[in-house]
Structure formats: C-alpha cells, structure tokens
Amino acid sequence: MGVSSGSRKLREAARIILVGAPGVGKGTQSERLMRRYPQLASISTGDLLRDNVRDKTLLGLQAESLIKSGSLVPDPLILDLILRELTSRNWLSTSRLNTNIVSAISQRSRSSSCAVEPSQDPESSFILDGFPRTATQADSLSRLLPMNLVLHLVTPAEIILSRMATRWVHASSGRVYNIGFNDPKVAGIDDITGEKLVQREDDTEETWRKRLAKFEETSSGLLNFYKEKQPATVVVVRGNSSDEISPQIFEEVERRFA
Ligand code: AP5
Ligand code: MG
C-alpha cells in the first residue's frame, strides 16, 4: 500500500475523530492507524448502520432509505447507536447513566461537565470514523467522553469522485479496497476472510454528490464546535490520495500520543 509497516506503541490514551467528505479515506486511514498502533480500535457509524440494514433491525429499517438517498440518519438514532457501542466495548461506564440512554444524553447535555472520566490507559485508545457528524452529535459526545484529536481529512471532490466507482468493501468488517490502488489479493475476495466483496448502494455518483452536499452543510458547524471548545485538538490534513495523507496523520499521532 506504499506506507511503511511496523507497529508502534502509544504511551497516552488517544481518542481520535476522523472528519471528511464521503470517500475521502476515513475507513482507509482507520485501518492503517490500527495496523500501525495495535492498541487502537475503531467504530464506524456507517458500518454499524449498514450492519443494522443487513440484519433488518428496527434501526436498519429506519435508516435504509436515508442512507440510500445520501441523507443523514437523525441525531437521536445515531446517539443511541454510538452509546450502545461505546458501552458494549467498555469504553464508557453505564453506571452513572440512565437506563433510557437517549434521554441520558440529553440530560447530560444540560450539565456542564463530562459524564465519565476518560481512561488514561493507552490500551483504551480508539478512533471514531464518521461520528460525530453534526455539532449536536459533537456536543452530546463531549458531555460523555472528551476526544483529544480531531483529524479533518481534505481531498479535492473530483479526485474522490473519480475513485468511488472502483471502491469495493468487505461488508461485515468494512474493510476497503480500490481497484488499481489497493487491490485485494484475489479479485472480488476479501484478503482476511475469503468472503465476497461488494459495492455500496450509496456509491453511485448521484448519491455521492448528495452525501457530499450534506457533508458541506453539516461539517462547518461540527468543526467550529471543536475549533471553539478545544482548538488545539483540530488538525487539517490535505492530500490527493490516502498515501499522501497517512504519513501526516502518523506524525501527528506520534507527536501527541507515542
Ligand atoms: P459512512 O459509511 O460514514 O460514509 P461516508 O462518510 O460517506 O464515507 P465513506 O465510508 O464513503 O468514505 P471514507 O471516508 O470512509 O473513505 P474510504 O476509506 O472508504 O456513512 C454512510 C451513511 O450512513 C451516511 O451517508 C449517513 O446516511 C449515515 N451515517 C453515518 N454516520 C452518521 C452520523 N454520525 N450521523 C448521521 N448519519 C450517519 O474510501 C476511500 C477510497 O479511496 C477507497 O476506495 C480507497 O482505496 C481510495 N483511494 C485512496 N487513495 C487513492 C488513490 N490514490 N487512488 C485510488 N484510490 C484511492
Ligand atoms: Mg467509510
């Protein structure tokens, strides 16, 4: 993949958010970060939603048409989803939260402090890919668990569009391939599981343009939230490909947490 391998150790707990246009490479960078720093884990709300659609859960049924049309899933549903995921992975203790987690978030949102003390253990490091996506989501998250690095990935839209048609994914893990750039070892097959790769239903040009418009509409509020509240955590990383972006991200993570 053109990026030097070899795993490294984090000495500080990293809680990283990836922000960027659809197809900019959030999933790709998450995978590369986890390979380089095995203490990192990642949550992609897009992948979680697609799992729910595939499993035909109530959330999946509510989210399916929104995802297909390039719209965002409503904040309360996403907050519910992410809170369940954070607690099931033990990244967030539920002991001080209400049983009704959505109302717990809104109650927390009215208080000024954080719900839980974040772990200082570097083994509790993680990446959030695609969450938060709105200022409301960022505000709710900040009341629960403060993030300490916000990476804003920037690639020109036309470059991203040109590679969307050749993106293939492994549905259950979210692993990403791109024909001619990051090919699977066997065409159409996931390297790790041997299962079939698929193309995402929202990767048509028309839907991608709608997702991009949504990103442009919501991301300035999201980024302004962090620029105002915790400016030292926001870093813009520019590049025309994931290979240009990865070394810059690695340097930033190394400097802050390794
Ligand atoms: P989500 O799954 O998060 O989609 P997205 O943000 O649109 O981002 P993508 O996953 O499409 O792209 P990516 O940035 O991960 O890039 P990747 O690395 O795969 O969300 C889907 C939907 O779920 C949303 O539209 C919304 O409806 C809903 N949703 C999710 N979270 C939500 C939230 N918090 N609130 C509300 N709704 C939410 O791809 C990059 C590609 O480029 C790869 O193919 C890579 O190999 C390729 N690449 C990189 N460099 C090169 C190169 N030099 N040459 C060729 N290819 C290259
Ligand atoms: Mg992704």
Q: What is the full per-residue pLDDT of the chain (258 aa) written as tens digits?
A: 445 568 999 999 999 999 999 999 999 999 999 999 999 999 999 999 999 999 999 999 999 999 999 999 999 999 999 999 988 887 776 554 433 334 444 444 444 556 567 788 999 899 999 999 999 999 999 988 899 999 999 999 999 999 999 999 999 999 999 999 999 999 999 999 999 999 999 999 999 999 999 999 999 999 999 999 999 999 999 999 999 999 999 999 999 999
- Residue 132: asked if its preceding bond is cis (omega within 30°), the reply is yes
Residue 114 has a pLDDT of 60
Output the CA 23–ligand 2 centroid distance in Å.
Answer: 7
pTM for this structure? Answer: 0.91
Residue ranges of domains in the chain, CATH in brackets: 15-165+203-257 (3.40.50.300)
Residue 5 has a pLDDT of 63
Residue of 133, 169, 238, 244 to test ligand 1 pocket, by largest number of atoms within 8 Å of CB: 133
Residue 103 has a pLDDT of 45
- Give the ligand 1 atom nearest the CA of 182: 46
With a 6 Å cutoff on the Cβ, whether 181 touches ligand 1 is yes
Ligand nearest to the Cα of 26, by number: 1
Alpha-carbon separation of residue 91 from 6, 188, 206, 226 (angstroms): 26, 35, 37, 21
Residue 109 has a pLDDT of 46
Residue 202 has a pLDDT of 94
DSSP-derived secondary structure for 196-233: BPB--GGGSHHHHHHHHHHHHHHHHHHHHHHHHH-GGG
Which residue's C-alpha comes closest to atom 19 of ligand 1? 27
Residue 102 has a pLDDT of 41
Distance of alpha carbon 97 from alpha carbon 101, whole angstroms? 7
Q: Say what angle helices 205-229 and 135-144 make with each other, to 10 degrees.
A: 50
Residue 93 has a pLDDT of 62
With a 6 Å cutoff on the Cβ, whether 140 touches ligand 1 is no
Residue 144 has a pLDDT of 87
With a 6 Å cutoff on the Cβ, whether 246 touches ligand 1 is no
Residue keyed to tokens 């049924």: 61
Going 60 to 63 to 69 to 71, the CA torsion angle's sign is negative
